[in-house]
Amino acid sequence: MVKGRPRHQSDTRLNKKNLDVVIHRHDRLSLVDGIFEMVAEQIKGGHLATGHRLVSVRQMAEDCEVSRDTVVRGYEKLVAHGHLEARSGSGFFVLGGGRAPLRQFDAPLSQRPVLPDWKRLRTLQSVSGEGGSPGSGLLPADWLDEQAMGQALRAMARASQKPLAAYGDVYGYLPLRLQLQAKLKEIHLQVPIDQIMVTAGASDALHLLVLSQLREAGETVLIEDPCSFLLMDRLMASGLSPVGIPRETDGPDIEALRRACEQYHPRFFFCSAVLHNPTCTHIAPHKAYQLLRLAEEFDFIIVEDDTYGDLMPASSATAAMRLASLDQLKRVVYIGSFSKTIAPGLRVGFICGPGDIMEWLLVYRSVAGIAAPQLGERVVYQLLAEGTYRHHCMQLRMRLDQCRQAVADKLIGLGCSFDHVPDAGMYLWATLPDELDAGGVADTLHEQGHQFAPGNLFLSMDNHQFNRKMRFNIARTLGSPALTAFEALLRT
């Protein structure tokens, strides 16, 4: 305890005994999460009033018999979730009940956000590249081009390794960026080389963007509903307040987007123009133009995630309908990735956008990550420069085309239905039959060792809109034990 400072009565609840109780009650949390939950519970229970100053990091570490680093990380997580406010030189102060709940536009304020099933999410993210798992977000391991990657690695091994003695270009490996510049021209996007930054996958690009542009806790940002659960969780973990805009088969609901802009005056809208996750739909041309006009009218930035874009045939008319191509990076930040197509473990992506945003990204990359991993960058460069990546993507598209309709027909035969059967991509967004709850089905199959992706993982609000929805990875469905178990469950 700080000498001369009276101890608040409520602080007596923050000690090792109560920390141990919290950790065991929540399925043996880490010490950091234990500190977080212990303090958060005291705030929510009214034992720590708004404006209350917590004991110092040193005192909390002594009271709970943990390291100061553990307390600091716990306090920082409480700040990120809006429970505490850090005041320079003064300490940490209670803000109240945490950040405002995630809400869908026009949804009753009494509704609360869906809290993801973290055990299921961890399993979905860590599932291996082998075997059948309809809920996975990865292509099968034997679909990857091991031969081309091996050749790229051998070419790197023959080259001089002296460049690895330095951090490398903070924007990323220049020859790779030149290849990306040429690649982007294929979708009619003309990008100066200093507006292209290589990242450790699309998730790293999103992380840098949030760090550099969205630093105010509680700020409202717009997302599509449904959307990638990784995007939603990243925004919520930063203390932001996402508002869901319904995603229709031809893109976001423009009228709902306008009303949300009028109400919240957001600075950012996160969306996908091509092969949206989880629905595999595209933004229709007329909506793309309307969306860009709204961005200009209400002065917000569109963040376009094109992670799955290379699975779209270049001959398709919709392939050129990227928002970034129409806008030429005036109000659009464009994110791409090779993790879905080359290899998830390679972690190479890129981001490009308006010059002022790229300058801030450069600052935060210099501080947080110094540079992207050079080995991965050079592998991707070799694959692009030798032309093997283009051929590989063509093979992936052909294999997906060969199994898409067969998977759709199989699911229809089981009583499932579709609002839209896509012409490209790796997912089907199905509606289960007989009023079945997809979350309950996924839980039952999870107990049998099978992984599925129910609609509530992709939903921003608990409005039951997607309770019957299920995302299927078409490359991992037919012939899998998981499909047999799913079929047996539906027939019971």
The answer to whether residue 418 scores a pLDDT higher than 50 is: yes
CB neighbours of 417 closer than 8 A, spacing ≥ 6?
A: 430, 431, 433
Taking a C-beta distance cutoff of 8 angstroms, is the pair 135, 452 a contact?
Answer: yes
pLDDT digits (tens, 9 = 90+) for 274-314: 999 999 999 999 999 999 999 999 999 999 999 999 999 87
DSSP string computed for 140-196? -GGGS-HHHHHHHHHHHHHS--GGGGS---TT--HHHHHHHHHHHHTTT----GGGE
Residues forming a β-bridge with 199: 349
Per-residue pLDDT tens digits for 98-133: 444 444 444 443 333 444 454 445 445 444 444 468
Checking if the pLDDT of 89 tops 60, the result is: yes
State the Cα–Cα distance between residues 410 and 181, nearest whole angstrom.
41
Q: How far apart are CA 284 and CA 289, in angstroms?
A: 9
Measured in whole angstroms, how far is the alpha carbon of residue 54 from the centre of its chain? 33
Domain locations in the chain as residue ranges: 9-94, 126-142+391-491, 145-386
- Would you call 261 helix, strand, or coil by DSSP? helix
Q: Are 181 and 191 in contact (CB under 8 A)?
A: yes
More confident of the two residues 99 and 166: 166
Looking at residue 192, its pLDDT comes to 96
What is the mean pLDDT of the segment spanning 204-208? 93
469 pLDDT exceeds 60? yes
Question: Cβ distance 38 to 22 under 8 Å?
Answer: yes
- Residue of 251 and 162 predicted with greater confidence: 251
- pLDDT of the residue at 108: 41
Which of 17-21, 156-160, 209-213 is predicted most confidently?
Answer: 209-213
Please check whether residue 171 is in contact with residue 198, taking contact to mean a CB–CB distance below 8 angstroms. Answer: yes
pLDDT band of residue 463 (cuts 50, 70, 90) is low
pLDDT band at 316 (very low <50, low <70, confident <90, very high): low
**What digits encode the pLDDT tens for the residues 433-457?**
988 899 889 989 988 888 899 998 8
Lowest mean pLDDT among 59-63, 330-334, 428-432: 59-63
End-to-end Cα distance, the chain: 62
The residue among 445, 433, 443 whose CA lies nearest residue 489 is 445
Per the CB < 8 A criterion, the answer to whether 360 and 212 are in contact is yes
- pLDDT at site 267: 96
pLDDT score recorded for residue 366: 82
CATH topology for 126-142+391-491?
Answer: Aspartate Aminotransferase, domain 1 (3.90.1150)
Q: Look at residue 425 and tell me whether its pLDDT is greater than 60.
A: yes
Least confident of 3-7, 320-324, 488-492: 3-7
Flag whether pLDDT at 340 surpasses 60. yes
Q: Which residues pair with 335 in a beta bridge?
A: 305, 351
β-bridge pairing 469-473 and 427-431 = antiparallel
pLDDT tens-place string over residues 269-279: 999 999 999 99
Is the pLDDT assigned to residue 1 strictly greater than 70? no
pLDDT higher than threshold 60 for residue 458: yes
DSSP letters of 362-386?
A: HHHHHHHTSS--HHHHHHHHHHHHT
Mean pLDDT score of the chain, rounded to an integer?
84
Looking at residue 27, what is its pLDDT?
A: 63
Q: Minimal CA–CA distance to 304: which of 278, 283, 279?
A: 283
Model confidence at 349, pLDDT cuts 50, 70, 90, reads very high
Q: Which listed CATH number (3.40.50.720, 1.20.120.80, 3.40.50.300, 3.40.640.10) goes with 145-386?
A: 3.40.640.10
pLDDT of residue 158: 84
Confidence category of residue 461, pLDDT binned at 50, 70, 90: low
The token pair at 461 is 């609000």
Beta-strand runs (E) in 27-185: 84-87, 91-94, 103-104
Second-level CATH architecture of 9-94: Orthogonal Bundle (1.10)
- Above 60 in pLDDT, residue 252? yes
For residue 331, give the nearest of 287, 283, 365, 298 by alpha carbon: 298
Residue 98 per-residue DSSP state: -
Give the model's pLDDT for residue 74: 84
pLDDT at 97 over 60: no
**Helical H runs in 265-314?**
285-298
Q: Is the backbone of residue 464 left (phi > 0), alpha (psi -120 to 50) or beta?
A: left
Cβ atoms of 232 and 242 closer than 8 Å: yes
The pLDDT value given to residue 11: 67
Q: Is the peptide bond before 278 cis (omega within 30 degrees of 0)?
A: yes
Q: Which whole number is the average pLDDT over 13-36?
A: 80
Tell me the C-alpha distance between 246 and 294, whole Å: 16
pTM, full prediction: 0.75
Task: Compute the average pLDDT of residues 401-429.
Answer: 95
The whole-angstrom separation of Cα 460 and Cα 466 is: 10
